[in-house]
Amino acid sequence: MKKSEIINLISLAQKARKNSYSPYSGFAVGAAILAASGKIYTGTNCESASYGATVCAERAALTAAVSAGERRFTAIAVAAGQKPTPPCGICRQLLAEFGEMTVICAAADGDGHIETTLSKLLPDALTNNDLKG
Annotated catalytic residues are 58
Q: In what order do the strands lie in the sheet with 40-44?
A: 40-44, 29-35, 73-80, 102-106, 113-117
Q: Between vectors from CA 12 to CA 10 and to CA 17, what angle results, nearest 5°?
A: 95
CA distances in angstroms from 93 to 21, 87, 115, 129, listed in the order given? 23, 10, 18, 14
E strands within 45-99? Answer: 73-80
